[in-house]
């Protein structure tokens, strides 16, 4: 039986932590659940999941729907789209059965690329390799989860660049129903026409095609300024956690002139496991943010300490309790901490 390979290439950078990655997990689960009830999809569709952050990794190798069990997604540091594309190319080269004189190979693969941010690497070499070898041999749909992705870069990979308006949980349900229906449509039509490729009708309230003729300027390639993510460590359990802030603009007047001020509002704190380091690429350049720009005081998600943002002289963030003396879990220094503001801390790439 010829396979219709479906690949999900998913951004799992720090900016995806929290609700975004949880909604993607639920969405993938809903796709598989519904496809398992479709006889045509059961016979033809095979699915693989590749994730990328600072590095890339296949977390679900290409397999049939019956064998597929929805995964829990890891988080990593950085948004190295180039690594994601390079890994995708290598995987396609390895996975796909090619057509020969003796037999028909796999159908043209479909790739759904999900990302919410700006690449933090130079992905031009990988994009060029994709365009030379695979652009005409696969169908890619690149989806910006919210308005923060670099549409210009996505447009270099495919003409199918869509904006998902991340409004609420219902938006995600509609979005993943659209992905499911698009997979069903292609699996049903592919026997009739080998080169058939058709996306389901867009729900413009939630999803729209991006006009790639309108160029955007993204000057930042080193850190995603839509979010600020800080790395902390629990003083008691030594577990790592991420503190996530989202960009926010407030309007105010100065001397009667309307102005907008930028700050970053606390979203929450989230524990990360060992996979975080494996998917992270260490940046040689330190990226910083001034604490004056950060709004909200996090607690520790591991031990519950009320203060999850204590800054040690070694440059690391950790939690502290009510004791007079606290010990930094990174360098072992014991000290009495006092309140301060308006200083710079190292941030992750996002």
Give residue 340's pLDDT band: very low, low, confident or very high (50, 70, 90): confident
Rounded Cα gap, residues 335 and 316, in angstroms: 14
Which SS3 state, helix, strand or coil, does residue 295 take? strand
Q: What is the pLDDT of residues 115-168, one digit of tens each?
A: 988 898 999 999 999 999 999 999 999 999 888 888 899 999 999 999 998 667
**DSSP structure string for 286-316:** -EEEEGGGEE-----TTT--SEEEEE-TTS-
Q: What is the pLDDT of residue 219?
A: 45
Q: What is the pLDDT of residue 223?
A: 64
Chain centroid to CA 281 = 15
Q: What is the pLDDT of residues 18-50, one digit of tens each?
A: 999 999 999 999 999 999 999 999 999 999 999
């290439």: which residue's tokens? 9
Q: What is the pLDDT of residue 204?
A: 80
Exposure of 49 in the CB half-sphere (CA atoms within 13 A)? 22
CB atoms under 10 Å from CB of 252, counted, come to: 9
Q: Is the pTM of this model over 0.85?
A: yes
* Greatest CA separation for the chain: 79
**Helices 169-189, 19-35: inter-axial angle, 10-degree rounding:** 40
Q: What is the pLDDT of residues 213-270, one digit of tens each?
A: 776 655 445 566 788 999 999 999 999 999 999 988 776 666 667 777 889 999 999 9
Q: What is the pLDDT of residues 263-304, one digit of tens each?
A: 999 999 999 999 999 999 876 678 899 999 999 999 999 999
Chain centroid to CA 339 = 34
Give residue 191's pLDDT band: very low, low, confident or very high (50, 70, 90): low
Q: What are phi and psi of 7, to 5 degrees?
A: -115, 135
* pLDDT surpassing 90 at residue 192: no
């010990």: which residue's tokens? 327
């Amino acid at each position: 039986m010829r396979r219709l390979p479906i690949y999900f290439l998913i951004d799992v950078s720090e900016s995806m932590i929290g609700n975004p990655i949880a909604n993607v997990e639920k969405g993938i689960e809903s796709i598989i659940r519904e496809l398992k009830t479709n006889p045509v999809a059961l016979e033809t569709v095979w699915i693989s999941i590749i994730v990328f952050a600072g590095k890339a990794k296949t977390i679900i190798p290409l397999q049939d729907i019956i064998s597929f069990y929805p995964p829990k997604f890891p988080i990593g540091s950085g948004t190295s789209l180039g690594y994601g594309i390079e890994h995708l190319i290598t995987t396609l080269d390895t996975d796909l059965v090619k057509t020969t004189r003796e037999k028909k190979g796999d159908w043209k693969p479909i790739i759904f690329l999900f990302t919410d941010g700006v690449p933090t690497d130079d992905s031009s070499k990988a994009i060029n390799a994709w365009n030379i070898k695979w652009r005409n041999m696969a169908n890619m749909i690149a989806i910006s989860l919210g308005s923060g992705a670099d549409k210009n870069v996505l447009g270099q990979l495919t003409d199918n660049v869509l904006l998902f308006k991340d409004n609420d949980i219902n938006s995600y349900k509609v979005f993943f129903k659209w992905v499911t229906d698009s997979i069903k449509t292609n699996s049903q039509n592919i026997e009739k026409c080998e080169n058939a490729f058709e996306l389901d009708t867009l729900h413009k309230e939630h999803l729209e095609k991006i006009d790639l003729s309108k160029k955007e300027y993204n000057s930042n390639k080193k850190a995603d300024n839509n979010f600020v993510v800080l790395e902390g460590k629990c003083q008691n359990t030594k577990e790592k956690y991420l503190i996530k802030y989202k960009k926010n603009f407030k309007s105010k007047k100065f001397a009667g002139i309307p102005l907008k001020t930028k700050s970053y509002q606390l979203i929450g704190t989230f524990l990360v496991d060992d996979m975080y380091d494996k998917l992270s690429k260490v940046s040689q350049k330190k990226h910083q943010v001034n604490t004056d720009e950060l709004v909200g005081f996090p607690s520790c998600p591991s031990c519950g300490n009320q203060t999850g943002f204590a800054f040690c002289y070694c440059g690391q963030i950790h939690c502290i309790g009510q004791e007079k003396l606290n010990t930094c879990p990174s360098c072992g220094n014991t000290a009495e901490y006092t309140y301060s503001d308006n200083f710079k801390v190292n941030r992750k790439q996002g």
